[in-house]
């Protein structure tokens, strides 16, 4: 399969699951990215939990493994899972809003390019036939998975009673979010235990 914008030319529904994943990983639709295209995701149609984040960072771009960093350590702690469980694609699909590192601006990493989601996101999510929980990280994924209203991340996270057991919005687990965690102690006191229980329930039931 050639390294080109297959989504613009091919009916993605005609691709087998493995072909779709290969097409995503070979995508070069954004050749002007500062470090070049390197799509990074974890996906299997059998996955029961979806982690929907923003985009890979610089470190992830070079490693090629999503959340293999301090943010991932914190996220796994939030979810109550070990690395083996987390990196089993039949447990967790990791499908961010963009699959390549978008570059860095004055305030940190740039927003995920919308082109990525336009090409691939619905095709990947539509095939998650066993999906039971969507874990949304950060504002861009929250906007995609939300009800269309404009909300802050804090407002979206605080709606967990209305969205669980099917969906929950979490702040990004980056160490840079320590201030948010300090300002919102209810997150760890009230929500994290519910998230861990829901994740454990799903993984035990298979």
pLDDT of residue 109: 81
pLDDT in tens, 89-147: 999 999 999 999 998 888 778 889 999 999 999 999 999 999 999 999 988 999 999 86
pLDDT of residue 2: 37
pLDDT in tens, 51-66: 999 999 888 999 999 9
The 3 state secondary structure assigned to 40-78 is CCECCCCCCEEEECCCCCHHHHHHCCCCCCHHHHHHHHH
pTM of the predicted model, to two decimals? 0.92
The 3 state secondary structure assigned to 68-123 is CCHHHHHHHHHHCCCHHHHCCCCCEEECCCCCCCCCEECCEECCCCHHHHHHHHHH
181 vs 178: CA distance, rounded Å: 5
pLDDT in tens, 150-206: 789 999 999 999 999 999 999 999 888 899 999 999 999 999 999 999 999 999 987
- For residue 25, give both structure tokens: 């990983």
pLDDT of residue 148: 64
pLDDT of residue 8: 47
């Amino acid at each position: 399969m050639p390294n080109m914008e297959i989504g613009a030319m091919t009916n993605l529904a005609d691709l087998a699951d493995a072909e779709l994943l290969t097409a995503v990983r070979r995508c070069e639709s954004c050749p002007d990215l500062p470090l070049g295209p390197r799509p990074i995701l974890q996906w299997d149609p059998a996955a029961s939990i979806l982690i929907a984040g923003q985009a890979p960072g610089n470190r992830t771009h070079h490693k090629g493994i999503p959340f293999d960093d301090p943010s991932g350590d914190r996220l796994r702690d939030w979810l109550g899972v070990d690395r083996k469980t987390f990196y089993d694609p039949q447990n967790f699909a990791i499908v961010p809003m963009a699959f390549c590192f978008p570059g860095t601006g004055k305030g940190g990493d740039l927003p995920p390019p919308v082109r990525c989601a336009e090409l691939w996101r619905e095709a990947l999510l539509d095939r998650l036939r066993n999906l039971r929980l969507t874990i949304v990280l950060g504002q861009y994924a929250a906007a995609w998975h939300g009800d269309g209203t404009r909300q802050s991340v804090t407002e979206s996270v605080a709606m967990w009673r209305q969205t669980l057991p099917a969906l929950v919005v979490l702040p990004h687990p980056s160490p840079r979010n320590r201030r948010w965690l300090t300002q919102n102690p209810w997150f760890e006191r009230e929500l994290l235990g519910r998230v861990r229980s829901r994740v454990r329930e799903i993984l035990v039931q298979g």
